[in-house]
Amino acid sequence: MEGGLRGKTKWAAALAAALLAGASQVAAETTAPPMRTTLGQPAADRRPVVINANELVYDRERGTVTARGNVVIFQGDRVVLADEVVFDQRANRVIATGNVTLTEPGAPTVFASRAELTRDMKDGVMEQFRMLFPDDSKLAANGAIRVDGRRNEMSRVVFSPCRLCPEDPTRAPLWQIRARRVIHDQDKQNIYYRSAALEFFGVPVIWLPFFSHPDPTVRRRTGFLTPTFGSEGRLGQTLRIPYFIVIDKDKDATVTPLLTTRQRVALFGEYRQRFVGGALATNGSITYVRRTDENEVRQPGDEFRGHLFGRLRYDIDRHWRTGFDAGYVTDKTYLRRYNIFGGDTLASSAFAEGFYDRNYIRARMMHFRTLRQGEAQDHIPFVLPLAEFRAVGDPVRDWGRWNFDASLLALGRNEGAESRRISLKGGWQVPYTDPAGWLVVASASLYADLYWVNAHEVGGLASFSGTVGRIYPQVKVDWRYPFARELGNVRHVIEPRVAFIAMPSGVNTWRIPNEDSLDIELDDLSLFEDNRFPGRDRIDDGARVVYGLTNSFFGNRGGKAEFFVGQSYRLFGDDNVPENSGIRRDLSDIVGRFRVMPGDYLSFTYRFRLDSEDLSFRRQEVAVAGGVPALRATATYIHLSDRVGNSEFASRRQVRFSVATQITPRWSASGSAAFDLVSTRPQPFALSIGARYQDECCTVTFTYSRTIDLLTDSKPSQRFLLSIALKYLGEARVAR
């Protein structure tokens, strides 16, 4: 006998539970016929079960319960859909047919034309099997067998993370893996292939008798990463074989042996860890090779060579944080030889800093490792420590506010001068706005510096060891008066600015070593500074008047243009500043800036410095940038006169070009070149060209670079890199 039973039934609950989590009992009773029924809590899962169907039929003679028509069974976030679902109580199995779909958060969505499963869902057979992973990766098979609730054994399988063509879904994706047999182990989160082929656009290119990779639900796992093969100059042919190690949820490591044809094996390593309030990252390497000097000349014997870098950031509490940036290398040429670091100085520092309302305190230790040929490490200074404190008071009505700065510096060398410095500054600042529109800021400060100096020599003619100090006041009045008017859709603003800065002269003395004020960069930004020296060892003393004019245009619909020109005049004071620094004469050099930004897609900036006597250019900088996101280009030009300062950057003329284009949503390209115009035959000392293709399943990058170290005038270093990254299959790289 067969009857149409539509309603809230215990056997319906067993049907839903069997499909969703397994059931233990099946019974039947009749009730009224609603379209949707909310069921009780089955023994297998205490969450409520809801079943929707056009019709529920119970066949008492056959012992089957059938749900037909748009069947939707869900329990919590777990959902089963099908055209028809039959629960066979006698055979202890569930049969779902027609557009079968099983979904659960965080797990792949399974599709099949027909599924026959045991009641506990641990074993079964599915036809025309499909699997859609959370990241939109896809797996398709003729059929699948489910074993022990954790393994899906499939035949005639295709896997790909690439999207299908919307115009022709039958077209082969960019790449896919096709195999005769595949096993998906849900517990191990692995996909195993037998007799597999890697296809590009449907064409097989690589055949693999056995192959496996993590399924798309895996974020990271211990194992080998894709090796890198290339040619790297003095190392010869190279092979890197990285091995990634998952130590815990918050820490991991990577060990990479480096095999070369011209050197012995080198071992590289990296360790990373995140913890509450901070993170730690370290990397290093070690090798045992033939001994060489700093000029790469071979010496008798062998030696260990290597490096170690580390970075830590840690928030102690809501007020304090600490950290370090550390670097160590065994010799000057190791980092450059192994393409690790190309700079000429390796800086290390450790710090702790605190934030309290308007107050700030910081303590640092710094060490510098020179990598320059011919420069002795014993003469390089180290800082142990540099402590700084800054406090700003609350405003006192219209009378401004106070400020206080203090610092402690200890600087030493293995050979050479040493110094200790205590610096204090207390001041008061009063801003004032006149009814006529004047903007005035007046300030008064008192400075005190105390030095302890040991073995300080000046040009080999004089030496000083002992204590020296200075106390001096400074006053400053900074006046501005902006004029504005409307010119149609443009606002025109003219702002003259004048500042008067005064302090006693003669505060600089040769007994104080100059460690932090070796050079002055006079430009439109530093012109109005209280002290135009970058540090505290030298003071821009005396009295001076600084004046400048800014002329600006602002469009109501965006865009702006501005021009600034300024200069200073020294009323009195010492001229113990670097030659050709721009402020050695009473009338300083003229500095200026011209900037135009008509919109978001174009900008032009020109900065200059002119000699106050003959108006010759001491410094020029030009920067042009423009374009739309699809195509952007920049060009910069810098000209430093050979009479500017005493830094290593004097006498330079360089131009740089760069361009980046987004050809299509997937294709992009970039290029840059830097030319040294001082040489008789200008040539690029830095050149880079790159192209990139990226979609949801594949990234291909091509780069070529060529560089010359201008400080050492070394031979050009060239590198070619082709990187092919297939999602879930790692990267394949060819470097030269």
CB atoms within 10 A of CB 425: 18
Rounded to an integer, what distance in angstroms lies between the CA atom of residue 418 and that of residue 451?
10
- pLDDT of residue 4 exceeding 70, the answer is no
Rounded to an integer, what distance in angstroms lies between the CA atom of residue 521 and that of residue 528?
12
Higher-confidence residue of 161 and 422: namely: 422
- pLDDT of residue 5 exceeding 70, the answer is no
3-state SS, residue 452: strand
Weakest mean pLDDT among 88-97, 280-289, 480-489: 88-97
Could you tell me if 508 and 576 are in contact, meaning their C-beta atoms sit under 8 angstroms apart? yes
Quick: pLDDT tens for 120-135.
667 889 999 998 888 8
Q: What are phi and psi of 561, to 5 degrees?
A: -145, 140
Rounded to an integer, what distance in angstroms lies between the CA atom of residue 258 and that of residue 237?
10
Quick: pLDDT tens for 241-268.
889 999 999 999 999 999 988 888 999 9
Could you tell me if 708 and 202 are in contact, meaning their C-beta atoms sit under 8 angstroms apart? no
Torsion of CA 334, 340, 346, 348, to 10 degrees: -120
540's tokens:
């821009």
Instruction: Report, as an integer, the average pLDDT of 624-649.
Output: 79
Residue type at position 631? L
390 CB-contact burial (10 Å; exposed 0-12 / middle 13-18 / buried 19+): middle
| Terminal Cα-to-Cα distance of the chain (whole angstroms) | 80
Structural domains of the chain ordered from first start:
2-214 (2.60.450.10), 651-736 (no CATH)
Weakest mean pLDDT among 146-160, 358-372, 671-685: 671-685
Quick: pLDDT tens for 184-205.
888 888 889 999 999 998 899 8
Could you tell me if 722 and 702 are in contact, meaning their C-beta atoms sit under 8 angstroms apart? yes
Could you tell me if 60 and 30 are in contact, meaning their C-beta atoms sit under 8 angstroms apart? no
| pLDDT value for 284 | 97
Let me know how long the chain is: 736
DSSP state of 587: B
pLDDT band at 491 (very low <50, low <70, confident <90, very high): very high
3-state SS, residue 236: coil
Q: What are phi and psi of 378, to 5 degrees?
A: -65, -20
Higher-confidence residue of 297 and 534: namely: 534
- pLDDT of residue 325 exceeding 90, the answer is yes
Residue-averaged pLDDT of the chain: 84
121 CB-contact burial (10 Å; exposed 0-12 / middle 13-18 / buried 19+): buried
Distance of CA 49 to the CA centre of its chain: 47
- pLDDT of residue 424 exceeding 60, the answer is yes
Q: What are phi and psi of 451, to 5 degrees?
A: -115, 140
184 CB-contact burial (10 Å; exposed 0-12 / middle 13-18 / buried 19+): buried
- pLDDT of residue 75 exceeding 90, the answer is no
Q: Where are the alpha helices (DSSP H) in 111-270?
A: none
Rounded to an integer, what distance in angstroms lies between the CA atom of residue 703 and that of residue 720?
6
Weakest mean pLDDT among 74-78, 325-329, 490-494, 557-561: 74-78
Beta bridge partners of 295: none
Rounded to an integer, what distance in angstroms lies between the CA atom of residue 409 and that of residue 449?
11
- pLDDT of residue 62 exceeding 70, the answer is yes
CB atoms within 10 A of CB 527: 24
Could you tell me if 566 and 591 are in contact, meaning their C-beta atoms sit under 8 angstroms apart? yes
Containing 662, the helix (H) or strand (E) segment is: strand 652-662
